[in-house]
Every structure is written in C-alpha cells, then in structure tokens.
Amino acid sequence: MEIRPILASLRKHRIPAILIVLEIALACAVLCNAVFMIGQRVVDIHRSNAIDERGIGVITVDGSDPKMASSDIPRNLGRLRGIAGVQAVAVTNTVPLSNNNWGWAFGATPDSRFNDAVNISAYFLSEGGDKALGLQLLQGRFFSSDEYADSKRGSMPLVDTHVVIITQSLAERMWPGQPALGKVLYSKPLAYTVVGVVADVLRPFVNSQKAWYSTFFPLSPDGALSYYVVRSAPQDRDRVVRQAQQTLSELNPIAVVKGHSYTDIRERYFANMSSMAWMLVLVCVVMLAVTAFGIVGLTSFWVQQRRRQIGIRRAVGATRGHIMQYFQAENFLLSTAGVVIGMGLAFGINLYLMQHYEMERMPWYYLPGGAIALWLIGQFAVFGPARRAAAVPPVVATRSA
C-alpha cells in the first residue's frame, strides 16, 4: 500500500483532515479518563469485606436508656437467639459501611502522636461478635470470655482493655514484614496488644487505600452497643431480620428499631457510586456514537468530491479492493495521528485531575486501550463510505462531471 498519494491528497484537504484528527484526539482523551473513572468506581464497589455479608442482618436500636444497657443487652440477645434459624447473635457499636465511624489514631511506639499515628476505625464487639460477623481469623486467637467480661467503657471514647484484633492490611501498615501478634498499638495513655489478625474488613466509612484499617475490641454490655448483628443461612436471612426487628421493638418500646440485611446496607452505601458509573458509561457510548457519525459524514463528503478521481483510478486498473483499502488506510493514518495526540491529552487531563481531585494516576494500559477502541471505531465508521467509493463505476471517468 502506497502511503504517499494518501498524504498528498490529505495535504489538499487540510481542514477536514485536521477536524477528524481533532475529533478522534478529543474522544480518545475523554474516553480514557472516563473509562478509568468507571474502573475506579467498579473497584470501589467491589471492595472485599471479610464478613459473612450474605448471611448477616443488622438491627439498630437507638434511644434506649444507656443506664439499662447491662440488663437490656443480655435480655435482647437471649430473645434473638430464640428465633428459628439464627446461628449467631452479637451487638456492636457499628458495622462496616454504616457511615457511623468510630475513629481513632494509633501509633506503633508509646510516643506516637499526630505525626506517625494511623487513623483507624474501632469496632466494639459483645461476646460472640466474631461468630456473628463471620470474621476470618488468620493468626492468633479471638477474645476470651474473661476479656469480654472485663472490658468496660464508662465515659471514655475507647474501651478499657488491653487486647485488640486487627485486620491484615492494618498489620502490614503498622509493622511491614513483621509478625503483628504480640505487638502493641499505642495512643497515650492507652495501649493494646494484638492478639489476633483477621482477613480485611471494611471500615464504616471508606476512602482511598485505607479502606481496611479496622480494629476490633471486646466490650461488656454498654450503651455504645446498638447494632444487633444476627447471622443465619442466606435463605433465612430476610425472615430472621423481620422477626428480629419485631422482637427488639417489642422489647424496647421507647427506642427506634430498624432492621436491614447486610447486602442492603452495602448496596445503599455504594448507590451513589454505581449511579455515577452508569452515567459515565452512557456518556462514553453516546460520545463514541457521535464520533463515529462525524467520521461517516466527513468521509462521505470526501468520497463524493472524488468520484471522478476514483473513476479514473478504476479505469486505469485499480480494483474495488484497492479503492476500499485507500479509504481505510487514509482513515487509519488520521486515527493514528488522532490517538497519538489523544493519548498525550488524556495523560495531561489525568495529571490535572490528580492535582485537583481525588484521582489516582491512570495505569499506562488505558492509553493504548483507548487508542485501539478509536482505531476500531474509525475503521467501522469508514467502512460504509469506502464501500460506496468502491462502487463508483470506471465509466465516471469518461463523463465530464
């Protein structure tokens, strides 16, 4: 395939050629960034969460008298255990993705303050909380009954105990490459020894890579505990949640009692993100369609302008295939110029967004990905006009316009 005649002809039609290149470049830049944003949201939405998400129901009890907690909570838990199909029950201060965060900062040395402390989320569990949530122990042990019984809170923001279970991600952040068991988390004047490491559990409020910095503390019945976690087989879950909600609202007439399955809680948390992701998908599709149509329109115009030249080429021996190839090659050249500029533009936009918004660096493979997509669209769009060009009969050459 000779490229030089194509270049020569493009030089004669500079403005339409530049327009096609520009359109492809813009589309490529927007596409790469939009697809990257979609990808990031999909990653967010599918973040792993090592609890029994499908079997858990959560019933919140708000507004009960905190002074009665020590008698109310064992009574409530006892009644919940009586519901048919319930495998485990516990009460916690919050659950992952509930938006109700109990945050604190811990360091790895006794003097850690502000500078090197890590922000974490604290989960307080009543006895059996590990089973009710379905935590997956990787190292060490869960809390003992004594540790649950001895742990009090009073008016303090954190609990008065000396043991903690942390997630794998947090263990790696605090003590990279070292075993976390037996190490101590400090926050003056508090100190907690790590007795267990569990698979990653999400925080109540997720942002960036720190999504799994969760810690678990034992706690005896306390006013802070208001999230009743009920675990059952997934097929029983909805019924169990309904019954549990009813039981708890009968037991606590003055409180506000609300029950949800955990899958609902997760879905609600990510609802914004998934609606945004769908919007991005829609914009991408429409944009590509518009781009394709623009290419069709301009190439058709070109074909019509060059009917005579095409006729002459046919008359002196070019086959239909040659004519098709000519337009396809021309489009390929324009697309290539477009995606080269587009990739540079996409990279620049990504840098700008990184500076001004919470955006990460786009992995390099998005760029060739976007390029290939636009190449394909270009070839797809040019196919119709090229076929029409190939259909021009050689006899056109002999007619004067």
Partner 1 sequence: MFGYYFDLARRSLIRSPILTAMMVLAIGLGIGASMTMLTVLHVMSGDPIPEHSGQLYYPHLDARPLSSKDDKNAPDPSANLSWIDASNLLRAHQGDRQAAMAGGSVLVRPAQTSLRPFFETGHYITADFFPMFDVPFRTGGGWTQVQDEQHERVVVLNGDLARKLFGDTSATGKIVRLQDTDFRVIGVLNDWYPQPAFYGDTSGHAFGKTDEFFLPLTTAMDLKFDSNGNMSCWGSGGDQRTSGECTWLQFWVSLDGPTKVHAYQQFLEDYWRQQQAHGRFARPVDAKLYGLLAWLDHMQLVPGDVRLQLWLALGFLAVCMVNIVGLLLAKFLRRSGEVSVRRALGARRRDIFLQFGVESAVIGVAGGLLGLGIAQLGLWSVRHRPDDYAHLAQMDVSMLLGTLVLAIVASVLAGLLPAWRACRITPALQLKTQ
Q: Give contact residues for partner 1 (rule: CB under 8 A).
A: 15-16, 19-20, 22-23, 26-27, 29-30, 33-34, 37, 62-63, 113-115, 119, 155, 157, 188-189, 207-208, 210, 254-256, 268, 271-272, 275-276, 279-280, 283, 286-287, 290-291, 293-294, 297-298, 300-301, 304-305, 349, 353, 357-359, 401
Give the nearest distance from C-beta 157 to partner 1 in angstroms. 8
CA distances from 320 to 112, 326, 328 (A): 77, 10, 12
Question: Per the structure block, which two tokens stand in for 377?
Answer: 């669209």
Q: Please say which residue, 283 or 340, places its beta carbon nearer to partner 1.
A: 283
Give the nearest distance from C-beta 130 to partner 1 in angstroms. 29
- 258 contacts 242 by C-beta, under 8 angstroms: no
Give the nearest distance from C-beta 297 to partner 1 in angstroms. 5
Give the nearest distance from C-beta 359 to partner 1 in angstroms. 8
Q: Please say which residue, 208 or 317, places its beta carbon nearer to partner 1.
A: 208
- Phi/psi-derived region of residue 85, left when phi > 0, alpha when psi is between -120 and 50, beta in every other case: left
Q: Which long-range contacts (CB under 8 A, 24 or more apart) does 156-162 make?
A: 157/102, 157/104, 158/104, 158/122, 158/187, 158/190, 158/217, 159/124, 159/217, 159/218, 159/219, 161/192, 161/217, 161/218, 161/219, 162/191, 162/192, 162/193
Q: Please say which residue, 148 or 366, places its beta carbon nearer to partner 1.
A: 366
Q: Please say which residue, 144 or 272, places its beta carbon nearer to partner 1.
A: 272
Give the nearest distance from C-beta 291 to partner 1 in angstroms. 6
Q: Which of 120, 205, 134, 204 is nearest to 169 (CA)?
A: 120
- 327 contacts 389 by C-beta, under 8 angstroms: yes
Give the nearest distance from C-beta 298 to partner 1 in angstroms. 5
Q: Please say which residue, 14 or 46, places its beta carbon nearer to partner 1.
A: 14
- In sequence order, which residues have a C-beta less than 8 Å from that of residue 207 and are 6 or more positions away? 358
Q: Which of 32, 34, 21 is nearest to 365 (CA)?
A: 32
Give the nearest distance from C-beta 400 to partner 1 in angstroms. 9
Q: Please say which residue, 114 or 365, places its beta carbon nearer to partner 1.
A: 114
Q: Please say which residue, 233 or 276, places its beta carbon nearer to partner 1.
A: 276
3-state secondary structure of 301: helix
DSSP β-ladder status, 190-198 and 163-167? parallel
Q: Can you spell out the DSSP letters for 304-339?
A: HHTHHHHHHHHHTT--HHHHHHHHHHHHHHHHHHHH
Give the nearest distance from C-beta 77 to partner 1 in angstroms. 22
Q: Please say which residue, 142 or 270, places its beta carbon nearer to partner 1.
A: 270
In degrees, to the nearest 5, what angle opens at C-alpha 128 toward C-alphas 125 and 134?
90
